[in-house]
Amino acid sequence: MIPVLIRLENRNDGKPQTWWTPPKPGTDKEDPEYLKWLLAKIYFRSSDLNRYSLCAHFARAHGVGESFGVAAYRNLPNAHPILRLLQPHIQGIVPVNVQARVIFMNPEEGGFSMFLGVGDETRKVFDNYYKQFCYEELLFPKGVEDRGVKDIPEYLHRDDMMANWKIIESYVIEMVGLAYLSDEDVQKDEEIQNFCKEIVENGFRRFENGAGFPKSLSTKEKLIELLTAIIFNFSFYHASVNFQTFTYSFAPNFPTCMRMAPPNQDEVITMDRILDTLPVGEIAFLGYNVAYNLGVYSPIERFFLGDAAEDKLGIIGENMAVAPEQEACIRRMAERMRELKVKIDARNVGRYLKYDLLSPDNVPLTTQT
């Protein structure tokens, strides 16, 4: 995509919005026309970083996921086959989120208000995001269709996410098939019905129509869809937004905040103006430190595929399945993922920059960071 226009506005002081366009080809890099476009892009990147960190990452992956974890633990007993299916993916979400809220979201502790552009308005950002959030956002194939990106060539993120979605879906189909022989079995399962009800009435009670989540389930198909979305959100979606945070470790590329308000339309932009706008060294270092720590694996991380050389434990060691038929389902899923890993490795041969972010051996089972 090629940007052709950027609109900037500063609502804090009531100044009017401004419109910035690219310089003519061949414009000298010291020319104010070139520098004003550069500054506009930096403002955009900073705003996008704030949206990405708070909305795409924490609100979408962590916040939404916590509702599923709490609902599962409150309504599904240890012996329930669906809790055993979800356990490797929901474990850890509550303490991780509590820690994030205490340290990062709390203005009294500094947290994000120290280095993100939203300052103390973190909760307002979350409110604005959740006003448009709905259940269908968790359904990745539908998102591909709705955004019209199904046929874009070399869209590796879409290809890998779709491939992993299909593997997770096949796995869930098999596991649900072992637990429920018919739609009627799903309807009669009071515990799974209470699980869905809890998500709507408590997890998303402030949302219109429970954010579109099903309050009850009448078919195996809808149960499979919901469980696939939950597992995918905890694992592959979270990995896709968490483990590439190194991109904002260099402040001029992705500044966490800007020290000056957006310029007036007729302001002459100089390099000094740009440097005075970028965060100070201490804030840039803090942003780098957070980016680095979010982008590395936790020591307790567990992955879909294990690798003894890297001391990774795969899902076989984490599952709560007790029946041979259940373990066979897990092993078939792992085999499909190994086949996908081979394809991804082959695709990356000869590439200047390989894309293996969503290779199953690099994707943790749950949300730890």
Using only C-alpha atoms, the chain has a radius of gyration, in whole angstroms, of 23
User: Is 22 a member of any domain?
Assistant: no
User: Is 292 a member of any domain?
Assistant: yes
Do residues 336 and 30 lie in contact, with contact meaning Cβ atoms separated by under 8 Å?
Answer: no
User: Is 219 a member of any domain?
Assistant: yes
Contacts of 264 (CB under 8 A, 6+ apart): 15, 18
Contacts of 57 (CB under 8 A, 6+ apart): 238, 241, 242
User: Is 4 a member of any domain?
Assistant: no
User: Is 18 a member of any domain?
Assistant: no
Q: Residue 193: its pLDDT value, please?
A: 97
pLDDT along the chain (369 residues), means of 10: 86 82 94 95 91 89 94 94 93 88 68 66 84 94 94 94 98 96 97 96 90 95 98 95 81 88 91 94 84 80 75 68 85 94 95 92 86
Residue 53, φ and ψ in degrees, nearest 5: -65, -45
Contacts of 118 (CB under 8 A, 6+ apart): 50, 54, 112, 124, 125
User: Is 2 a member of any domain?
Assistant: no
User: Is 1 a member of any domain?
Assistant: no
Instruction: Indicate yes or no: pTM above 0.85.
Output: yes
Q: How far is CA 46 from CA 154, 170, 215, 279, 302, in A?
A: 27, 39, 38, 10, 32
**Domain count within the chain:** 1
Please, what is the Cα angle at 304 between 193 and 67, to 5 degrees? 30
CATH number for the domain harbouring residue 56: 1.20.245.10
Three-state DSSP class for residue 150: coil
Give the alpha-carbon dihedral of 270, 274, 280, 281, to 10 degrees. -90
**Which of 249, 8, 242, 295 has the alpha carbon at shortest distance from 115?**
249
Q: Residue 306: its pLDDT value, please?
A: 77
| Domain around 125 | 27-362
Q: Residue 319: its pLDDT value, please?
A: 67
Contacts of 256 (CB under 8 A, 6+ apart): 46, 49, 50, 115, 116, 117, 248, 279, 283, 284, 286, 287
187: enclosing H helix or E strand: helix 183-188
Residue carrying the six token digits 């993922």? 337
User: Is 74 a member of any domain?
Assistant: yes
